[in-house]
Amino acid sequence: MTVIGATRNARLATRLTYASFRRRTPEPVRVLVADNGSTDGTLDDLRRLDWLTVFSLEERRRWAREEAAEARRTLEKLRRDLDALVAECPAGQRSVLDRLRTEVEIVVPDDGELCQHSTALDWLAPQVDTPYFLLLDSDVEFLSPGWLGDLVGFADAEGLAAVGEFEPGRFPCRDRLATYLLLLRTDVFRALGVPFRQALRFGDPREEERWYSRARHHVLDPSAFDGFPSAAFYDTAAVLFERLQREGLPWKPFPPTVAAKFRHLGQMSWSADARDDYAGVELLREHVRVAAEYAGTRLRDHYDGGLPGWQPI
What letter does residue 302 receive in the DSSP assignment? I
Give the three-class secondary structure for 10: coil
CATH architecture of 2-61+109-198+236-306: Alpha-Beta Complex (3.90)
Q: Residue 274 has what pLDDT?
A: 44
Q: Residue 75 has what pLDDT?
A: 72
Domain ranges within the chain, ordered by starting residue:
2-61+109-198+236-306, 199-234
Per-residue pLDDT of the chain (313 residues; tens, 9 = 90+): 999 999 988 888 898 899 899 989 988 899 999 999 999 899 999 999 999 999 999 988 887 777 767 777 777 777 777 677 666 776 666 666 666 556 656 555 666 677 788 999 999 999 999 999 999 999 899 999 999 999 999 999 999 999 999 999 988 899 999 999 999 999 999 999 999 998 899 999 999 888 888 755 455 667 788 888 999 999 999 999 999 999 999 999 999 999 999 999 875 554 545 445 555 567 667 767 777 788 878 877 665 555 555 554 4
C-alpha to C-alpha distance for 262 and 113, rounded to whole angstroms: 31
Task: For residue 262, give the H/E element and its range.
Answer: strand 262-264
C-alpha to C-alpha distance for 35 and 228, rounded to whole angstroms: 35
Q: pTM of the entire structure?
A: 0.81
Q: Residue 249 has what pLDDT?
A: 98
> In the chain, which ranges are continuous DSSP H helix?
11-24, 42-47, 57-88, 91-103, 111-114, 117-124, 147-158, 186-192, 205-212, 238-246, 256-259, 281-298
In 3D, which of 60, 291, 281, 264 has the Cα closest to residue 179?
264
Please say whether the beta carbons of 67 and 114 come within 8 A. no
* CB neighbour class for 141 (10 Å; exposed up to 12, middle 13-18, buried from 19): buried
Phi then psi dihedrals of residue 295, to 5 deg:
-60, -40
C-alpha to C-alpha distance for 309 and 106, rounded to whole angstroms: 42
Q: Which residues contact 270 (CB under 8 A, 6 or more apart)?
A: 10, 284, 288
* Radius of gyration (C-alpha) of the chain in whole angstroms: 22
C-alpha to C-alpha distance for 3 and 14, rounded to whole angstroms: 14
| DSSP secondary structure of 136-154 | E-S-EEE-STTHHHHHHHH
